[in-house]
Structure 1
Amino acid sequence: MIESSTPPLAALDGYRNVTDLLVARAAAAPDHVAFEVHDPDAGSWRPITTREFSNEVRALAKGFMARGIRAGDPIAIMAPTRYEWAVADLASWFAGAVVVPIYETSSASQVNAIVADAGVRLAIGGTAEHAALLQKALAQTTGDTLGAWTMDIATPSALIDLVSAGVDVTDEALEARRTSASQDDPATIVYTSGTTGAPKGVVLTHRNFLGQVLNIAAAYREIVNEDGNTVIFLPLAHVLARGLQLICLASGMRIAHLSDPSTVVATLDTLRPTFLVVVPRVLQKIQAAAAAKAADKGLSGVWAQARSTAIAWGRRAERMDAGRRVSKKLGLNLRHRLFDALFFGRLRTVMGGRVGYILSGGAALDAELSLFFRGIGVPVIEGYGLTETTAPLTGNLPGNISSGSVGTPLPGLTVRISDEGEVLARGVGVFAGYRNAAHDEDAFVDGFFRTGDLGRLDEQGRLILEGRLKDVIVTSNGKTIVPTRWESAVEASPLVSHAVMVGEGKPYLSALLVLDPEETRAWATAEGIIIAQSAPSDIRAVTDPTLRAHLQKTIDAANALVARSEQVRRFSVVFADLEDRALVTPTMKLKRSVVLDRAAVTVEDLYL
Structure 2
Amino acid sequence: MRAVEQALSRYAESDRPLVEVLDADGAVAASHSYRAVTRAARALADRIAGQLPAGRAPRIGVICGNTPEFVVTDLALLALRATGIPVPLAFTREQAASLLDGADLCLTDAQGAARLAEWGADAVLPAGCPVVAADLTAPATVPYRLTGADGDWISKVIHTSGTTSRPKGVRIRAHGVDALLGSLREVMPAGAFTRYLSFVPFSLLIEQVTGLYMVLLDGGCLTLLPSSAALVGTDAGAGEAALPYLAAARPTAVVATPALVAVVADAARRARAAGADIPRTLFGTATAPLICCGGAPVHPGTLRELDALGLPVHEGYGLSENSSVVSWNTPDARRIGTVGRPLPHVRVKVADDGELLVSSTSLFAGYTRDDPSSCLLRDGWLHTGDLAAIDADGFITVTGRKKNIIITAAGRNVAPEWVEAQYARLPFVQAVAVVGNGLPALHGLFVLRPGTDPDQARAAIEAFGAEHLSEVERVARVHLVDAGQQRYRRYFTVTGRPMRAAIEADLTQHQSTEPTQHQHDGPATRHRAATTTPHPPTTSKGRSMPTTRPEVRPYGAGTGKLVLAGPGHRTLGDLDPADTIALLAEAGFLVLRGFAPSLEDFSLFVKAHSARVTLDPARSFHGGDVAQKVDAGTAAVGLHLENGNSPFVPDLTWFLCERAAATGSQTTVCDGYRVWDAATDADRAAFAQDIVYGRGVEEDKWKRFVFHQLGGEKPLDAITLDDFRALAGDDPGTTITPRPDGSVHYAHRTPAARTTLFGDRLSWANSVFGPSYNYEQPVITFADGTPLPEPLLARMKRLTDDLTEDIDWHDGDVALIDNTRVMHGRRAIEDPARTVYNAQSYLDRDLLPGTAA
Q: Shorter-chain-normalised TM-score: which range? A: 0.7 to 0.9
CA offset digits 1:356-393 (Å, max 9, x no partner): 32111111121122122221222211111011111111
Q: Is the 8 A contact 2:202 2:208 kept in 1?
A: yes
Q: Is the 8 A contact 2:409 2:437 kept in 1?
A: yes
Amino acid in structure 2 at the alignment position of 1:80? G
Residue 553 (str. 1) matches residue 466 (str. 2): no
Residue from 192, 201, 209 that aligns with 1:243 = 209
- Distance apart, 1:578 and its partner CA: 4.5
Q: Distance in 2 between matches of 1:31 and 1:355?
A: 28
Counterpart of 1:319 in structure 2 is none
Counterpart of 1:53 in structure 2 is 37
Q: What is the 5 A alignment of 1:301-320?
A: none
Q: Distance in 2 between matches of 1:38 and 1:342?
A: 29
Q: Distance in 2 between matches of 1:351 and 1:437?
A: 44
Residue from 251, 257, 262 that aligns with 2:224 = 257
CA offset digits 1:555-579 (Å, max 9, x no partner): 23441xxx55434444333457552
Counterpart of 2:389 in structure 1 is 456
Deviates more, 1:274-283 or 1:66-75: 66-75
Secondary structure at 1:249's aligned position in 2? helix
Q: What is the 5 A alignment of 1:129-140?
A: 129-133=114-118, 136-137=121-122
- Distance apart, 1:277 and its partner CA: 1.2
Q: Are residues 606 and 501 of structure 1, via their aligned partners in 2, closer, same or farther at CA, if it must alter by over 3 Å?
A: farther
Q: Distance in 2 between matches of 1:138 and 1:277?
A: 34
Counterpart of 1:389 in structure 2 is 322
Residue 229 (str. 1) matches residue 137 (str. 2): no
Q: Distance in 1 between matches of 2:375 and 2:23?
A: 48
Amino acid in structure 2 at the alignment position of 1:511? H
Counterpart of 1:523 in structure 2 is 452
| Consecutive unaligned residues in structure 2, runs of 5 or more | 232-237, 518-853
Counterpart of 1:288 in structure 2 is 266
Greater RCO (Cα-Cα under 8 Å, separation 6 or more)? 1
Residue from 78, 97, 100 that aligns with 2:82 = 97
Q: Distance in 2 between matches of 1:431 and 1:393?
A: 12
CA offset digits 1:13-55 (Å, max 9, x no partner): xx6x57624433326x834433323478995344433233221
Residue from 185, 194, 200 that aligns with 2:168 = 200
Q: Is the 8 A contact 1:272 1:355 kept in 2?
A: no
Q: Distance in 2 between matches of 1:496 and 1:416?
A: 34
CA offset digits 1:254-297 (Å, max 9, x no partner): 21112524453222333211221111111212223455x58xxx
Counterpart of 2:741 in structure 1 is none
Residue 366 (str. 1) matches residue 299 (str. 2): yes
Two-structure CA RMSD over aligned residues (Å):
3.1
Identity %: 23
Amino acid in structure 2 at the alignment position of 1:513? L
Counterpart of 1:398 in structure 2 is 331
Q: Are residues 82 and 125 of structure 1, via their aligned partners in 2, closer, same or farther at CA, if it must alter by over 3 Å?
A: closer
Residue 178 (str. 1) matches residue 147 (str. 2): yes
Residue from 504, 508, 513 that aligns with 2:445 = 513
Q: Are residues 493 and 39 of structure 1, via their aligned partners in 2, closer, same or farther at CA, if it must alter by over 3 Å?
A: closer
CA offset digits 1:419-449 (Å, max 9, x no partner): 1111111112221311226769861233111
- Normalised by the size of structure 1, how large is the TM-score? 0.74
Q: Distance in 1 between matches of 2:404 and 2:371?
A: 23
Q: Distance in 2 between matches of 1:57 and 1:18?
A: 18
- Distance apart, 1:588 and its partner CA: 3.5
- Distance apart, 1:464 and its partner CA: 0.4
Q: Is the 8 A contact 2:436 2:508 kept in 1?
A: no
Q: Are residues 40 and 591 of structure 1, via their aligned partners in 2, closer, same or farther at CA, if it must alter by over 3 Å?
A: closer
Q: Is the 8 A contact 2:249 2:283 kept in 1?
A: no
Residue from 342, 346, 355 that aligns with 1:413 = 346
Residue from 494, 516, 533 that aligns with 2:427 = 494
Deviates more, 1:439-448 or 1:355-364: 439-448
Q: Distance in 1 between matches of 2:460 and 2:373?
A: 46
Q: Is the 8 A contact 2:259 2:496 kept in 1?
A: no
Residue 583 (str. 1) matches residue 498 (str. 2): no
Q: Is the 8 A contact 2:87 2:96 kept in 1?
A: yes
Q: Distance in 2 between matches of 1:42 and 1:285?
A: 18
Q: Is the 8 A contact 2:62 2:84 kept in 1?
A: yes
Q: Distance in 2 between matches of 1:440 and 1:21?
A: 37
Deviates more, 1:494-503 or 1:585-594: 494-503
Q: Distance in 2 between matches of 1:110 and 1:422?
A: 30
Counterpart of 1:593 in structure 2 is 501
- Distance apart, 1:67 and its partner CA: 4.2
Q: Is the 8 A contact 2:432 2:446 kept in 1?
A: yes
Deviates more, 1:440-449 or 1:245-254: 440-449
- Distance apart, 1:103 and its partner CA: 0.7
Q: Is the 8 A contact 1:422 1:455 kept in 2?
A: yes
Q: Are residues 578 and 122 of structure 1, via their aligned partners in 2, closer, same or farther at CA, if it must alter by over 3 Å?
A: closer
Q: Is the 8 A contact 2:66 2:224 kept in 1?
A: yes
Q: Are residues 275 and 363 of structure 1, via their aligned partners in 2, closer, same or farther at CA, if it must alter by over 3 Å?
A: same
Q: Are residues 73 and 582 of structure 1, via their aligned partners in 2, closer, same or farther at CA, if it must alter by over 3 Å?
A: farther
Q: What is the 5 A alignment of 1:133-148?
A: 133=118, 136-137=121-122, 141-142=126-127, 144-146=128-130, 148=131
Counterpart of 2:247 in structure 1 is 269
Counterpart of 1:327 in structure 2 is none
Deviates more, 1:282-291 or 1:566-575: 566-575
Q: Are residues 607 and 197 of structure 1, via their aligned partners in 2, closer, same or farther at CA, if it must alter by over 3 Å?
A: farther
Equivalent residue pairs, number = 500
Amino acid in structure 2 at the alignment position of 1:429? S
Q: Distance in 2 between matches of 1:195 and 1:485?
A: 23
The answer to which structure has the higher helix fraction is 1
Q: Is the 8 A contact 2:329 2:335 kept in 1?
A: yes
Q: Distance in 1 between matches of 2:26 and 2:329?
A: 40
Residue 426 (str. 1) matches residue 411 (str. 2): no
Q: Is the 8 A contact 1:455 1:465 kept in 2?
A: yes
Residue from 172, 176, 188 that aligns with 2:156 = 188
Q: What is the 5 A alignment of 1:344-359?
A: 345-346=277-278, 348-353=280-285, 354-359=287-292
Q: Are residues 149 and 83 of structure 1, via their aligned partners in 2, closer, same or farther at CA, if it must alter by over 3 Å?
A: same
Residue from 99, 110, 114 that aligns with 1:114 = 99
Bigger radius of gyration, 1 or 2?
2
Q: Are residues 264 and 547 of structure 1, via their aligned partners in 2, closer, same or farther at CA, if it must alter by over 3 Å?
A: closer
Q: Distance in 2 between matches of 1:122 and 1:129?
A: 14
Q: Are residues 221 and 347 of structure 1, via their aligned partners in 2, closer, same or farther at CA, if it must alter by over 3 Å?
A: closer
